[in-house]
Amino acid sequence: MAPPLIQLKDIRLTFGGTPLLSGVELNVAPSERVCLIGRNGSGKSTLLKIAAGLVEPDGGTRFVQPGATVRYLPQEPDFGEHKTTLAYVESGLAPGDDQHQARYLLEQLGLTGEENPHNLSGGEARRAALAFVLAPSPDILLLDEPTNHLDLATIEWLEQELDSRRSALVIISHDRRFLTNLSRSTAWLDRGKIKQIDRGFASFESWRDEVLAEEERDQHKLDRKIVDEEHWLRHGVSGRRKRNVKRLGNLHALRDQRRNYRGTTGSASLAASEAEQSGKLVIEAKGVTKAYGDRMIVDNFSTRIQRGDRLGIIGPNGAGKTTLVNLLTGGMQPDSGTIRLGANLEVATLDQHRESLDPKSTLAEALTGGRGDQIMVGGKPKHVVGYMKDFLFAQEQRGTPVEVLSGGERGRLMLARALAKPSNLLVLDEPTNDLDLETLDVLEDMLGDYEGTVILISHDRDFLDRVVTSVIAPEGNGKWTEYAGGYSDMLTQRGADLKRETAKAAPAAEKKEGRSAAPASAPKRKLSFNDKHALETLPKKMEALQADIAKLQRVLDDPNLYTKDRKKFDDTSAAIAKAHDELSAAEERWLELEMLREEIEQA
């Protein structure tokens, strides 16, 4: 086995209170592909900085193979005093490096090299930073959320670029698809320690559940052992004094072990505050057009969004996704065409750039608007600390300034603000940015239970596949097309990946001709959101109906009921007949959906 390129041994770090890192071990061999997984605040980014040599731990050792080159991609790059993106990228090259790589990578990432680094958008800054770390072709790449602010086409280009390189990779990312496609081993940072397996991210969640289940069994055994020892000390027959003293010492050790056990952090409790139900029709757009000068953003677009739909909007940065959403929700007027909004619409919006957060305000003030200790959640007052805990904030963070919160914490704060407002239409712009995987799971479940309508802008392919029922994608020159299903379904129907730059997309006639030349692929069948919801809820409904029927039958079993109370007999008879009809309909519907599900899975 080749010696590690980088080795962290017994790394310890404490920022007051509970240790952040406690005896962490991490080895990265040549060409190894490691995904570093952990909750927000678990210390992943800090550990990556220690691996990069940027943070000095309280204890432990860091070893890097002599001559090995390390490049680190931070979440927020520092461009220093460089005047252009080309100068910035070239500053990372050593004398023996290929100087042409700087310009080549910038071009591949959609930059000219002449941009002022200090005037870049979030996506442009991330692309310049990627060019900086990739240009030297280092032996080790340490990447902290490399896909944040990137569009889907650039994410897929980055996947292919990293996969073709021989560099060892350590990646922190919330993008499941990205991690699944690139990782070959998994390092799980949990409660200050690392557990590692030689399998990629695809195996992580099942492995994690097994580890936590075994840990829970071990803690249960420890609790039982403590109870048994306490019972022996109180009621056992006295033996020699030394033996008793030793056994008492063992009990104290067991209690210390139990007391020092750091249980898993609870899951976030995300729930949208739902307003009264909207009308069946939520939004209808007919022939909508919007242009800025000579540039067409939306050209003759029509759609019909109904209550309960989950609509995903994708496309390259700058394609006009936010403009399209503003048009659909009435925040912007089209140049031509009509937008009709449904009745009783209550909209809650999540801002991608967190621009509405005052960095100097405290966490509690950001939630309450600076007004006391209460926050209105679904129209009802709730104490701000209790609401903070629902989103995994500790009580001690109440007075923490927003500017010192991590990216994941700011993401949860924005979700907390958006979900507190009663709504029946959620508009979410990149809600997955910086969220850990566990919080993403809870967010997916919340959106699944939400009875209103969702419009979602996202570059997270896995999240789109799990959540949305249709996808709107740009075709170039202001043309947008809606596809049934998730992101993978869109690719199947479209027959091509998204272009990296819509301005360079082929003319519509050429694209149509190219598509007709290829064999048409039938759209992949998929259960709708309502079908999935029915499959999950119908068994409970059938159980409840069966219980109701049994209860009503017990009433009818009284042989004297007809003579004692004729009205009660008639009402009960009518109720049991209705319940039988509902049960029969529910069973038929469930059987129909179950057969459809099996047919889709076997296809």
As annotated, the binding site includes: 38-45, 315-322
**Contact between 454 and 467 (Cβ < 8 Å):** yes
**Contact between 195 and 211 (Cβ < 8 Å):** yes
In angstroms, rounded to a whole number, what is the distance separating the alpha carbons of residues 186 and 445? 25
**Contact between 447 and 418 (Cβ < 8 Å):** no
480 forms beta bridges with 474
**Contact between 401 and 359 (Cβ < 8 Å):** yes
Report the length, in residues, of the chain. 603
- Note every long-range contact of 594-599, with CB atoms under 8 Å and residues 24 or more positions apart, other chains counting: 594/535, 596/527, 596/531, 597/527, 597/535, 599/525
DSSP 80-148: TT-SSHHHHHHTT--TTS-THHHHHHHHHTT--S-S-GGG--HHHHHHHHHHHHHTT--SEEEEESTTT
CB neighbour list of residue 567: distance below 8 Å, 6 or more residues apart: none
Crossing angle between the packed helical segments 529-556 and 437-449, to the nearest 10 degrees: 60
The pair phi, psi for residue 557, each rounded to 5°, is -70, -15
Exposure b/e, 295-315, CB count within 10 A at least 16 = b: ebbbbebebebebbbbbbbbb
Q: Which of 7, 45, 40, 43 minimizes the C-alpha distance to 22?
A: 43
**Contact between 344 and 424 (Cβ < 8 Å):** yes
The token pair that represents 299 in the structure block: 């050209």
Q: Which of 196, 194, 263, 169 minimizes the C-alpha distance to 11?
A: 194
Three-class HEC string of 31-57: CCEEEEECCCCCCHHHHHHHHHCCCCC
Exposure b/e, 364-400, CB count within 10 A at least 16 = b: bbbbbeeeeeebbbeeeebebbebbebbbbeeebbeb
The token pair that represents 456 in the structure block: 């979602």
Where is the binding site for ATP, in residues?
38-45, 315-322
**Contact between 183 and 490 (Cβ < 8 Å):** no
336 CB-contact burial (10 Å; exposed 0-12 / middle 13-18 / buried 19+): exposed
**Contact between 310 and 466 (Cβ < 8 Å):** no
Place of tokens 């170039």: 476
